[in-house]
Amino acid sequence: MRASPKAPLISAKTIASKPFMARAHASSLVRIALILLGALAAQRAAAQPASDGPAPLGSATTIQDQAAGGMEISWEVRNRFRLFREERDFQIHVAAERNQSILAAEQTLELQSDGRGWARNAVNRLCIDLGGHVSEPCTRDNVKESYLTPTEHPVTVRLTGAIPVGAICAWSFDDGDGPRTTTQDCAEPIDFRARYGRATVATVDVSSGAGAPQRLVTQIKVRDILIAGLGDSIASGEGNPDRAIALSDEGFCFRSYLGGAAGEYYRPSRAGYKGGRACGTSGSLQTWQHYGALWLNAACHRSLYSYQTRTALALAVRYSHIAVTYLPLACTGATIPDGMLGSQRARECLTAKSSAKCQGTVNGQIAELREALTTAKRRQPDRKLDLVLLTIGANDINFSGLVSDVIVDAPTERALFKRGGLIESVEDSRSSLVRDLPQSFSKLRAALRPLVGNDLSRVVFVSYANPALANGGAPCAGGKAGFDVHPSFNADPKRLAEVTGYVQNEFLPRLKAIALCQSGVICRDPGSDRMTFVEAHQVAFADHGFCARSGSDPEFDRACFSAKGDSFVSDIVEAPQQPLTCGRPASTFRAYLPRARWIRDADDSYFTAMTYPQALPSSMQPSDIHDATWGLLSAVYGGAIHPTAEGHAAMADAALPAVEAELHLNGADGSDVTGEPLPPLAPAAAPAPMMPPAAIPPAPQ
């Protein structure tokens, strides 16, 4: 938590203009008059020579005395990342991100969790369920709240600085509906719930021994920021399930398209699965799915590790006077027509861990966001969408088809992938980039414009990173290393170099031009149609592509993921008992440990998520869980060539400054989100009755 800088005094005119003052009770009106008188007295005193004598007994000290005393009122919003239902999950990040970057915090948490990941338990304690539905109300820290339209926020207030030993504090909190008061030891904090959209005047009279009491006043107003996350698999967090799959140490048989015993191979199985592991044995897909990875949302492979979630969370960590309401809607596989503007196929049907039924399709993200905002405005007419985080466009040029073209090397599989439209050449992708993507973006702008007040600078577009660079920007060399999880995979060096150059020199620059209305891209009104563009992370990724390796990589990776591409036992007699040539248990793999590569390769993807994509076209539906199609797709559909949690944290570090600037959070807590000292009150004729030391009760509704 950053300390707030000293703010200028609020003038009497500023106080009198506060909206809530017009609704105050008679007692509040008296307090306003006292504040105004105190302000005039302070101004008069400031014009006179300073007095060396003590203040008269029984009077309040001046602002100068307060500053000399070194005391001030500090406050912060508790559990201010409102997606979390429990304060403990938020405090983990407060501690980890103290004085370090989001990336450094992620690495710290990875080591603390022994590579199991910080999100594995938090994912079950959210205000959005695993089906993607907002819980209304959501019980946060034992209090029922509306998630989209909060009516109040939990706040902790304390006196800080040079507090006299044994000092007693008489507190008063007034949000316009009359003061709430309590008296207690000044060393004790006070919890109360601040009304949404209202300012609360907090006053404390500090008494210590026979000295004159000191009075401090500040204003508390919580700014609730509503952020939506939109886009494709990079936006959703693909590749990083909130709870990675638990691996069995035994092998599981897959067929290849060649058929026969020679076409069978074994890879680690799912821990807990008791069905047939050998090819030719039957197995229940529903039972198999029960032991899969756990996602914030399985249909879209949404993850708490996504850069969008990490950016929104980091805002809440860094700014103690705000609350962040975050709505994750990004979906893996999304294009602008299918996913953003229209519905799309689900990546996975929900598993038996959720009671929700798989629908096979996912609603368009714009429609989902529009519906959420309509519901929110119906309850709170002043509720608005403050910011959109967006990454989209790679699927519109069929980037996954380019990846398949690079890594699917065996003739039989290449022929089948081409027939199914799963392989695409650079030339075909280039045609989509030049012809289709600008037109689709124009439609997306039109859909987003009314949701962000016709100001698309409030859309922070975070660009992709080139996934195939290492050693300062050199292209990865290719080969089977990192891709030997499937016998047909081999990153062809020539095709890899062609795709790497195309991404670096054509796709990324063109995407930037489209987002910023540059280089001949036609926008209706460039001044309001330009998005806020983020690309600072691309330099860091130039050292951390899928081929990056380091002596500090996890021991399992160095021992078991062969640089020669021979990580797995090929003997079908030995492989069912031990599928890894390193001889180590597969269950000791840790998806969330620091490593040189920030891009998951196919081996990572299988060991982390092992996805059986269920919502496939009928022509691609497999016959059983040992089917060759499952074996092929399970190696890539869990996030191959997608950022790791470290990669997403690096993207969040790049996005955060742009988000702060767009939200005008340029000071320690933002220019309009401060606790500012007010002029001192004149001493009251008689003190108001005080309640016993306790949390301040809620204001009347």
Phi/psi for 646 (5° steps) reads: -65, -40
Question: What's the pLDDT at 232?
Answer: 98
With a pLDDT cut of 70, the percent of the chain lying above it is 82
Angle at 481 between CA 333 and CA 277, to 5 degrees: 70
Tokens (6 digits) for 309: 């979630």
Q: Give the pLDDT band of residue 31 (cuts 50, 70, 90).
A: very low
pLDDT in tens, 535-572: 999 999 999 999 999 999 999 999 999 999 999 999 99
**Is the pLDDT score of 622 beyond 80?**
no
Question: What's the pLDDT at 696?
Answer: 54
**Is the pLDDT score of 51 beyond 50?**
no
**Is the pLDDT score of 11 beyond 90?**
no
Question: What's the pLDDT at 695?
Answer: 52
Residue type, 633: L
Q: Which of 254-268, 341-355, 552-566 reaches the highest mean pLDDT? A: 552-566
Question: Distance (Å, rounded) from C-alpha 132 to C-alpha 297?
Answer: 6
Question: What's the pLDDT at 496?
Answer: 97
Q: Give the pLDDT band of residue 680 (cuts 50, 70, 90).
A: very low
Q: Which of 290-304, 336-350, 408-422, 678-692 reaches the highest mean pLDDT? A: 290-304
Q: Give the pLDDT band of residue 360 (cuts 50, 70, 90).
A: confident
Q: Give the pLDDT band of residue 88 (cuts 50, 70, 90).
A: very high
Strand ranges in 16-140 using DSSP code E only, listed in sequence order? 71-77, 138-140
Domains of the chain in sequence order: 1-70+162-221+672-701 (no CATH), 226-661 (3.40.50.1110)
Range name among 211-215, 459-463, 659-663, 690-694 with the lowest pLDDT average:
690-694
Q: Which of 406-415, 598-607, 663-672 reaches the highest mean pLDDT? A: 598-607
With a pLDDT cut of 90, the percent of the chain lying above it is 73
Question: What's the pLDDT at 666?
Answer: 66
pLDDT in tens, 134-150: 999 999 999 999 999 99
Alpha carbon distances (Å) from 629 to 399, 413, 624:
20, 10, 9
508-516 and 437-448 helices, crossing angle to 10°: 40
Q: Give the pLDDT band of residue 689 (cuts 50, 70, 90).
A: very low
Q: Give the pLDDT band of residue 209 (cuts 50, 70, 90).
A: confident
- pLDDT, greater one: 19 or 660: 660
Question: What's the pLDDT at 287?
Answer: 87
Averaged over 103-132, what is the pLDDT?
A: 97
Q: Which stretches within 380-407 are classed as H helix? A: 399-407
Question: Distance (Å, rounded) from C-alpha 327 to C-alpha 304?
Answer: 12
Question: What's the pLDDT at 32?
Answer: 39
Q: Which of 670, 676, 682, 700 is nearest to 18 (CA)?
A: 676
Q: Give the pLDDT band of residue 385 (cuts 50, 70, 90).
A: very high
- At 468, is the secondary structure helix, strand, or coil? coil
Q: How high does pLDDT run on average in the chain?
A: 85
Which secondary-structure segment (H or E) carries 602? helix 602-608
Question: What's the pLDDT at 465?
Answer: 97
Q: Give the pLDDT band of residue 614 (cuts 50, 70, 90).
A: confident
**Is the pLDDT score of 6 beyond 70?**
no
**Is the pLDDT score of 667 beyond 90?**
no
Question: Distance (Å, rounded) from C-alpha 33 to C-alpha 587?
Answer: 70
**Is the pLDDT score of 4 beyond 80?**
no
Question: Distance (Å, rounded) from C-alpha 203 to C-alpha 677?
Answer: 10
Question: Distance (Å, rounded) from C-alpha 22 to C-alpha 452?
Answer: 31
